[in-house]
Structures are given as C-alpha cells and as structure tokens.
Amino acid sequence: MARTGNIRKSNTLMKMVFLLVFIGLAVYVVRFSPARQYFTADQLGLLLEAAGIWAPLMFVIIYVAGICLFLPGTLLTALGAAIFGPYWGFLYVWTGAMIGAGLAFLIGRYLGRDFAASLIGDRLKRFDDAIERNGFATVLYLRLMYFPFTPMNFGMGLTKVRFWDYISGTALGILVGTFIFTFFVGTLRDVWATGRWEDLLSWKVCLSVILFVSSFFIPKVLKMIRKEESVSNESPLQENR
C-alpha cells in the first residue's frame, strides 16, 4: 500500500512538472525564441493566404495551437476578422477558441489536477467544491468579466469543475465579446478593402463602434449586479437579527 501511494505521488509530481515545463517552453517559443518572428499577424496572414480553400481549417488549427502556446487571443481574433470578415470571421474564431479552450482545459486537468488536489486545504476545498456545484455559472461569470482567456483555460482544469459545465459556460460567455470584436474589426476591414471611406459614417460602422465601446462596460455592469444581489441576500439576515 505504501509503495502504491509513493508511486502515485511520484506520477502526480511528474505530471505537474511536465505541465510546468510545457507552459514554460510554450512561452519561450512564442516570446523569446527565433521562431517568434513567425507568430506575427503578417506571417500568419501570408500562411492563410497560401492555404487557399483550406484557409478556414488552417486558421482554426492555428487558433487552437495559439491558445495552447499562449499566443495573444486578441491577435488571433483580429486576424480572423481581418481575413474572413465580420461574420465568417466570428464563426471561425469562436470555433477555434472553443476547441482550444477545451484542449487546454484537458491538458490542465490531466497533468495538474491531482497535484492541485493534494495541496488543497479545508478553505480551498470549500472553494473547489463550490466551483464543482456552480461550475457553469462560475465559468460564465468569469468569461463575461473578460478574465484572461488562456490562463483560465489551464487553471479551470486544476479545479473540480465538470468538463461540460466548463465548455457550456465558455461557449456562452465568449459569444458576445467575440462577436462584438470580430464585427468591429471585420467591418473596418470591409471599409479598408473597398476604399469607400464615406462608409465610415454608415450604420454598420457606427453600430460596430457602439458595440465595441459598450463591451468594456460589461464587467462593470456585472459587478454592480452581483453587488446588489449580495446586499439583497444579506438584508433579510440583518432583519432577523
């Protein structure tokens, strides 16, 4: 029994070390290695142009790999909108983001969950259990709050949140923000491509700008709603006292 426990602890530690090495190498390759020159909008754009009819599939693959390699999601999203336009760009970006988020979650879950569980004390265990019970709502709230996308993918894998709660919360949580951003960039791209600068005053451009600016207020609105709910939940308790 003791030997089995030691082997299990050793495997858990090895998985965690592998996860940290993977993350470290990913950051190094993208940020500091000579290969980083290929992870620019220009280079990725040339690669997609050369892909022809396979460009959408290639873009989704690049987006998935980019999430796992800690590439900035904003760069990839803007690239998709600039190349494919506001509507198809949204579809390809959302698809790539969902697959990448799911893959990163599974990497974190398989390699890091056991080690994270071994470090959890009573206080963190209550927090972990709460995430498991309210996984969908927690993930949805954090996505709407624009919590950093890639760290959250790996980090949620370390918790007890159920995979399908995580996926459904992510799918709904990134829907609005992704559409607004791709619609904004894609609309400006259409104006640039046609060269009709008078279209900058069109309803479509004005709507995209309004939606884009309004998206920055979503986290503040959510905080206000949550604060009001917490106050309303506490007031009956105070009256009973």
Specify whether the CB–CB gap between 152 and 142 falls below 8 A.
yes
**6-25 pLDDT tens trace:** 666 778 788 888 888 888 88
Residue 19 CB contacts under 8 Å (≥ 6 apart), including other chains: 107, 108, 111, 112, 154
Q: Evaluate if residue 240 carries a pLDDT over 60.
A: no
Residue 56's pLDDT band, with cuts at 50, 70 and 90, is: very high
Phi, psi of 202 (to 5 degrees): -75, 160
pLDDT number for residue 170: 95
Most confident of 4-8, 122-126, 158-162: 158-162
CA–CA dist 182, 184 (Å, integer): 5
Q: Evaluate if residue 2 carries a pLDDT over 60.
A: no
The closest of 189, 12, 225 to 113, measured between CA atoms, is 12
Residue 79 CB contacts under 8 Å (≥ 6 apart), including other chains: 41, 44, 45, 48, 59
In 3-state terms, what secondary structure has residue 1? coil
Domain chopping of the chain, boundaries: 2-229
Residue 229's pLDDT band, with cuts at 50, 70 and 90, is: low
Task: Calculate what percentage of the chain has a pLDDT beyond 70.
Answer: 78
Alpha helix locations (H) across the chain?
A: 2-31, 41-50, 55-68, 73-119, 122-133, 135-144, 149-157, 163-173, 175-194, 203-215, 218-240
pLDDT number for residue 237: 45
Q: What dihedral angle (degrees, nearest 10) is formed by the CA atoms of 73, 75, 81, 86?
A: 60
Comparing 4 with 159, the larger pLDDT belongs to: 159
Comparing 151 with 119, the larger pLDDT belongs to: 151
Q: Which of 46-50, 137-141, 187-191 has the lowest mean pLDDT?
A: 187-191
Residue 228 CB contacts under 8 Å (≥ 6 apart), including other chains: none
Q: Evaluate if residue 142 carries a pLDDT over 60.
A: yes
Q: Evaluate if residue 159 carries a pLDDT over 80.
A: yes
Q: Chain-wide mean pLDDT for the chain? A: 81
pTM: 0.79
Q: Evaluate if residue 231 carries a pLDDT over 60.
A: no
Q: Which of 35-44, 140-149, 170-179, 196-205 has the lowest mean pLDDT?
A: 196-205
